[in-house]
Amino acid sequence: MSLLDEVKKRKTFAIISHPDAGKTTLTEKLLLYGNLIRSAGTVKGKKSGKFATSDWMEIEKQRGISVTSSVMNFPYNGYQVNILDTPGHEDFSEDTYRTLTAVDSVVMIIDATKGIEAQTLKLFKVCRMRGIPIFTFINKLDREGKEPLELLEEIEEVLDIETYPMNWPVGMGKRFLGIFDRHGKQFVKYNGNEEESYIPYEDLDKQEDLVSQSAYVAAEEELALLDEAGNEFSLDAVLAGKQTPVFFGSALAPFGVQTFFDTFISMAPAPTPRKTTVDVVQPDNPEFSGFVFKIQANMNPAHRDRVAFLRVCSGKFERGMSVKLARTDKVIKLSQSQQIVASTRDTVDEAYAGDIIGIYDPNAYQIGDTLVEGKSKYEYDELPQFPPEVFKKVAAKNVMKAKQFKKGVEQLVQEGAIQLFRDKRTESYILGAVGELQYEVFQYRMKNEYNVEVVFETIGDRIPRWLKPDQKVDETLFDERNMLVRDREGNFLVLFKNEFSLNWFKDKNTDIELIDLFEVN
Ligand code: G4P
């Protein structure tokens, strides 16, 4: 098979949703279709003590949530499917955002009873900004929810994206009868716990007991309206991230899931060319290349190892090959590589653009690193940084443990889930994270992996602003309210207490130039 054929087979995506919208349930159904698991309930069942394939860390088990991202892959309908898991909890880490740089599309699940919920809005917006194609699955149609038209309007307004319903629901909750499959020109009948059945449009007239129901008549009218006045379907617009195909269904039943998956897989983009510091690299360029989007230490406490997650962007990965780390120009032999499905690891012998592999990290990699085969010299575009919002001072409870503390902090910070700053005056360690959960994970891992108990001192939510480099500033301008700190690269920034302090400072010090490094707010 040619390299291009291999690339075209790859469908690499993430499923994003608000907690409880049904991500685990839907993922499980996809894994069933892909024969990755044999029975329902293998993945689901947080309350019963079974855990999702993608949840492996002890803390995830305790909280019943998935904190780190993992990868699931399987062949389906002639395609090679790669699903990247993302934390569904409201406390996102940068990890979640970075995972989005490694996928070619996303599936957005929305709970029909709730619509778009505030906490996940940010994540959806990041997808919009990056132009990632979004496929929407509106879940829980077997429950009374919001009106379908209202849900579409909400998506269009909040995300500023066109919607195109691929199917149209007839009734919901107890009166849920099924969906019009606009794409397949058939009616898919909901039979409760029984399997769904399919009726071609031309045979619908014969189904008197169905077509006489008021919910059916109402849905048919809505559909006629959509056909006439709704958006036109455009695959180009979908692939440009400007239109989202919307599917209604129930992940639990399951209902409409297989049709959704088949259509999604056939429409979702295969790996596309990626920008580098020099040029654009085609996915079927014979030279292997990829970038590290995540580093995970001690995934298996028995091994105390580090794994770098690499998204392959071009060429063919072969185990044992030598590649160049673009940042340092050092050549590294990739002898240990694995595909990671939860805590079990299969050795990977070859991989192509779109695939995600875990490579053994002898402490050589950093997040964002580019690996290239051969003589070419380029790096993939820098991964975006996201603004930490919660800041805390951190110290070892026992001062005798200073050495382990430093080592632990440095390694966990290198993984990128949390950012490190040092107070200019006191040199104390200050951590910044996107959400509160990262502190729990940090504390837990420091204790379990580095045997250090840490104590936090909250300094609250802060607004970080960097000082323009080489600018002389009077240090006495800063105090606990407006803290002057250094980031890991040695750049100075100020952690402002709130919007008011920031504006007050700006008014008083018009000669000081402040930089907001983050585009996403
Ligand atoms: P998450 O991963 O996005 O957090 O959601 P998850 O799949 O765990 O689903 C959250 C809850 O919603 C679960 O119920 C699940 O059974 C239910 N659910 C998912 N899809 C559907 C659907 O299509 N219809 C209905 N009615 N419910 C759905 P739970 O009671 O919280 O958990 P459990 O006791 O079933 O484990």
pLDDT in tens, 22-58: 988 898 888 888 876 655 554 444 444 444 444 444 5
Give residue 505's identity as a one-letter amino acid code.
F
pLDDT at 261: 96
pLDDT at 37: 62
Nearest atom, ligand 1, residue 48 CA: 36
Tokens of 283: 């996915």
Average of pLDDT values for 216-229? 94
Tell me the C-alpha distance between 9 and 2, whole Å. Answer: 11
Pick from 402, 518, 514: nearest CA to 467: 514
User: Is 19 labelled as part of a ligand binding site?
Assistant: yes
3-state percent breakdown (helix, strand, coil) of the chain, nearest 5:
30, 30, 40
Residue nearest to atom 9 of ligand 1 (CA): 22
Residue nearest to atom 31 of ligand 1 (CA): 20
| Ligand 1 binding pocket includes 269 (Cβ within 6 Å) | no
Give 495-510 pLDDT, tens digit per residue: 999 999 999 999 999 9
pLDDT at 64: 42
Residue 141 banded pLDDT, cuts 50, 70, 90: very high
pLDDT at 506: 94
For residue 242, give the DSSP letter: S
For residue 473, give the DSSP letter: -
Residue 65 banded pLDDT, cuts 50, 70, 90: very low
Average of pLDDT values for 102-124? 88
Residue nearest to atom 16 of ligand 1 (CA): 252
| Ligand 1 binding pocket includes 47 (Cβ within 6 Å) | yes
Share of residues in the chain with pLDDT > 90 (%): 55
Q: How many CA atoms lie within 13 A of 383 on its CB side?
A: 24
| Ligand 1 binding pocket includes 22 (Cβ within 6 Å) | yes
Tokens of 35: 């024969």
Q: Is the pLDDT of residue 388 over 90?
A: no
Q: How far is the CA of 257 from the centre of ligand 1 (A)?
A: 15
Q: Is the pLDDT of residue 378 over 70?
A: yes
Tell me the C-alpha distance between 66 and 63, whole Å. Answer: 8
Pick from 504, 503, 485: nearest CA to 494: 485
Residue 17 banded pLDDT, cuts 50, 70, 90: confident
pLDDT at 286: 96
Mean pLDDT of the chain: 85
The position carrying tokens 């707010």 is 521
